[in-house]
């Protein structure tokens, strides 16, 4: 088998369609043929492209190529079958890409529209079941919204004129005298904070909510009436 004949086996070799003896002969040829090595690199994506084509289409293309080879008494001068296959696949790929681009764009637009409509609803904070506030002559103001949860209580804290240094924390005292830390945060330079905490203590069992500074000194206490 001469070099020209071996060259025309490139497509079949790439797709794993050669007999072991033919594959060995082609690999020996490949070692000394820069043109075949370059074309093999150019066609490296062909198997993946073929996988993307429906089986019926792939069979039709293969049958057409086989018929062309059977009709030819000598290897044809025009482009080898793999190149024609690649052109066909490239056209299909462009068509599929256009369809996917349109579909993705439509889906993105739909998701964006849904996000615009649903965003405010999803980001909306839960309405508190109870809300209590405390204010001091220093200007300090703390409001705590309490939301019932199956696992306990969620606390939404809104504070103004708080200490501007150190770590602050929020503590929940239950009606049996137990204490649980609901959250902690680093003081802000403005003394302003909005933060959410949580405690396993059920809302009906909360006696008070206390804010402490880094030295565990009480900054504010909010009493929660029973009932």
What is the phi/psi pair of residue 83, to 5°?
A: -65, -40
Q: How far apart are CA 72 and CA 118, in angstroms?
A: 64
At 74 the three-state DSSP class reads coil
- Return the closest-CA partner of residue 146 out of 125, 167, 163: 125
Cα dist. 105→93, 102, 125, 164 in Å?
18, 5, 31, 48
What pLDDT does 89 receive? 63
Q: Please, what's the b/e burial string for 9-38 (b: 16 or more CB within 10 A of its CB; e: otherwise)?
A: bbbbbbeeebeeeeeebbeebbeebeebee
Question: CA 118, 124, 128, 131: dihedral to nearest 10 degrees?
Answer: -160
| pLDDT tens for each residue of the chain, 227 residues long | 555 666 667 667 766 667 788 878 877 877 778 887 787 777 766 656 656 556 555 556 656 656 666 665 555 555 555 666 666 666 666 665 565 455 445 545 554 554 544 445 445 556 889 999 999 888 899 999 999 999 999 999 999 999 999 999 999 999 999 999 999 999 999 999 999 999 999 999 999 999 999 999 999 999 999 87
pTM, two decimals, is: 0.47
User: In the numeric block, which tokens belong to residue 73?
Assistant: 């008494």
- Long-range CB pairs of 4-10, under 8 A, 24+ apart, other chains included: 4/75, 5/75, 6/33, 6/36, 7/33, 7/35, 7/36, 7/80, 8/75, 8/80, 8/81, 10/36, 10/39, 10/40, 10/43, 10/80, 10/82
Q: What is the pLDDT of residue 81?
A: 52
């Amino acid at each position: 088998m001469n070099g020209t004949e071996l060259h025309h086996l490139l497509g079949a070799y790439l797709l794993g369609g050669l007999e072991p003896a033919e594959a060995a002969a082609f690999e020996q040829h490949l070692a000394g043929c820069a043109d075949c090595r370059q074309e093999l690199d150019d066609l490296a994506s062909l198997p993946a492209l073929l996988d993307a084509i429906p089986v019926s289409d792939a069979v039709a293309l293969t049958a057409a190529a086989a018929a062309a080879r059977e009709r030819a008494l000598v290897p044809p001068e025009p482009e080898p079958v793999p190149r024609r296959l690649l052109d066909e696949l490239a056209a299909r790929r462009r068509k599929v890409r256009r369809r996917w681009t349109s579909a993705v764009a439509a889906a993105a637009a739909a998701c964006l529209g849904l996000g615009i409509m649903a965003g405010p609803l999803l980001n909306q904070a839960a309405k508190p079941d109870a809300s209590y506030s405390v204010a001091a002559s220093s200007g300090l103001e703390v409001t705590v919204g309490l939301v019932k949860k199956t696992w306990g209580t969620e606390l939404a804290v809104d504070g103004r004129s708080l200490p501007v240094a150190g770590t602050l924390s929020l503590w929940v005292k239950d009606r049996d005298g137990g204490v649980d830390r609901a959250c902690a945060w680093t003081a802000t330079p403005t003394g302003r904070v909005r933060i959410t905490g949580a405690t396993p203590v059920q809302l009906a069992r909360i006696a008070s909510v206390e804010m402490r500074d880094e030295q565990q000194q009480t900054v504010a206490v909010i009493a929660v009436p029973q009932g």
